Amino acid sequence: MPDDTFSLILFSGTDDKLHAGAVMAVGAAAMGRPVNIFLQYWALDAFRDDRVHKDHGVAPEAGDDGARAVIDQQATTHWIELFEQAKDIGEVTINACAESMELLGITPEDLHPAVDGVWGVARFFMEAGDGATFI
Amino acid sequence: MPDDTFSLILFSGTDDKLHAGAVMAVGAAAMGRPVNIFLQYWALDAFRDDRVHKDHGVAPEAGDDGARAVIDQQATTHWIELFEQAKDIGEVTINACAESMELLGITPEDLHPAVDGVWGVARFFMEAGDGATFI
Amino acid sequence: MPDDTFSLILFSGTDDKLHAGAVMAVGAAAMGRPVNIFLQYWALDAFRDDRVHKDHGVAPEAGDDGARAVIDQQATTHWIELFEQAKDIGEVTINACAESMELLGITPEDLHPAVDGVWGVARFFMEAGDGATFI
């Protein structure tokens, strides 16, 4: 259990939070920290290979201006590209939560190639450092 | 302040996030880590003894299919049962935030028996490890 | 990188989450921990000097009673006052995320005086402890 691992649980499936999570993954990887990403629920759903590039909406408080800004942001650099960049520059792994896979009827073949594998939650905690950031 | 305590602040009151939090509590407890859960706002409201089993909805991005999947999930194993399992297998405490109790007009007698007590936020930080996961 | 720094990423822009974040900042500062706050997306938008005191809504699951309770809460002690209190009692810094500033077209002059500066995400991770709490 490396002390400085940045553990990131992605739960939310909106483009604003996925982008925020991706920026954090890049930032932590750039600082030389291992990054341990775990996909649950609606974030996992967004990592289906055929859904990555659809419009996933934003938090309700964004308003129309905020929603448009995020759509433009995704058109420039999509969050999936940022996760791929993070994997290129550092020790970054992305694993799907086994329970959420079953919940949503998703099989490993459905997932984007950036996803490395499927983990149970106990395995995630084995690899996590002290804290886990939940988005 | 034990270094490996998993500190979990439950804020959101939807069934998907409460279930995700419960799974994490079980996972951390199964790994032998003390788990320190703090209930605020809408999560606290969901722990009222007479509201635990009502439908608390899901995140807006779930869609109809996602919402149905979570309803089925709760019918199989409700999140309150998972929190109770976590308490059975490990050193897991659940405390209500004193300020949220006052905000929502909740008294200790209103709460589900799985809740151990009422804490101020300073007490929570005394018992928390380095990080706190906020859901 | 001080071990006991409490790192708090504020992403959500609703009054309930901003208040919860402010209470945590006060609690951590009262326990003598340095607090490192990073403003992104809709939380950053809420820290515009001319928007701090507007109604930012609450999480959808709050319901009408919950929403009213939060409005009353803000009228008594607004979250911006709590962040200012946290800065008075401890070593608390609040920085805006450079990428979110650009996304939303915000300049430093637009921000409330409680915001100390603008940071890139790598800088945030340099100053963060092991975990980061995301709200």
Chain B nearest-CA distance from A131, in A, is: 5
Residues of B in contact with A134 (CB under 8 A): 20, 133-135
Contact list, B132 vs chain A (CB under 8 Å): 131
What is the pLDDT, as a whole number, of residue C3?
67
Q: Please tell me which chains touch A, using 3 or more CB pairs under 8 Å as the contact test.
A: B, C
Residue pair A6/A68 in contact by the 8 Å Cβ criterion = no
Report the share of chain B in percent with pLDDT over 70. Answer: 98
Q: How confident is the model at residue B75 (pLDDT cuts 50, 70, 90)?
A: very high
Do C131 and A134 lie within an 8 Å CB cutoff? no
| Residues C64, B35: Cα–Cα separation, whole Å | 32
Q: What is the mean pLDDT of residues B64-81?
A: 95
Closest by Cα among B63, B58, B3, B12 to B34: B3
- Rounded to the nearest angstrom, the minimum Cα separation between B25 and chain A is 10
- Residue of B59, B37, B16 whose CA lies nearest to B111: B37
More confident residue, C129 or B62: B62
Query: pLDDT per residue over C14-60, tens digit each?
Result: 999 999 999 999 999 999 999 999 999 999 999 999 999 999 999 99
DSSP C86-99: HHHHS-EEEEEEHH
| Whether the predicted pLDDT of A38 surpasses 60 | yes
Which chain C residues touch B14 with a CB distance below 8 Å? Answer: 61
What whole-number distance in Å separates Cα of residue C103 and Cα of residue A119?
34
Interval B18-39: pLDDT, tens: 999 999 999 999 999 999 999 9
pLDDT of residue B118: 98
How close is the nearest chain C Cα to the Cα of B116, in Å?
Answer: 21
Mutation pick from B130, B133, B135 vs chain C, by most beta carbons of C within 10 Å, is B130
Please give the average per-residue pLDDT across A16-38, as a whole number.
96
Residues A86-106: tens digit of each pLDDT: 999 999 999 999 999 999 999
**pLDDT recorded at residue A33:** 93
| A133/C131 touch (CB, cutoff 8 Å), yes or no | yes
- To which residue do tokens 């800065």 refer? C87
Mean pLDDT of the region A101-124: 96
pLDDT in tens, C51-91: 999 999 999 999 999 999 999 999 999 999 999 999 999 99
How high is the pLDDT of residue A4?
A: 87
Which domains, from first to last, does chain C contain?
Answer: 6-134 (3.40.1260.10)
Q: What is the average per-residue pLDDT within B67-95?
A: 96
Give the pLDDT mean for A76-94.
97
Assign A55 a pLDDT band (cuts: 50, 70, 90): very high
Instruction: Note the pLDDT of residue C47.
Output: 98
- Can you give the pLDDT at residue B3? 67
pTM for this entry:
0.95
For residues B67 and B58, is the Cβ–Cβ distance under 8 A?
Answer: yes
Residue among C122, C131, C133 minimizing CB distance to A30:
C122
Model pLDDT for residues B50-62, shown as the tens digit of each residue: 999 999 999 999 9
Looking at CA atoms only, how far is residue C88 from chain A in angstroms?
Answer: 27
pLDDT band at A1 (very low <50, low <70, confident <90, very high): very low
> Which of A109-113, B72-76, C37-41 bottoms out in mean pLDDT, i.e. has the lowest?
B72-76
B4 pLDDT tier (thresholds 50, 70, 90): confident
Q: What share of chain C is helix, strand, coil (3-state, %, to 5)?
A: 50, 15, 35
Residue of B nearest to C10 (CA): B134
Q: Which residues of B touch C69 (CB under 8 A)?
A: 103-105
CA–CA dist B56, A56 (Å, integer)? 22
CB contact under 8 A, C61 and B12: yes
Q: How far is CA A36 from CA A18, A117, A135, B51, B91, in A?
A: 15, 12, 13, 35, 25
Average model confidence (pLDDT) across chain B: 94
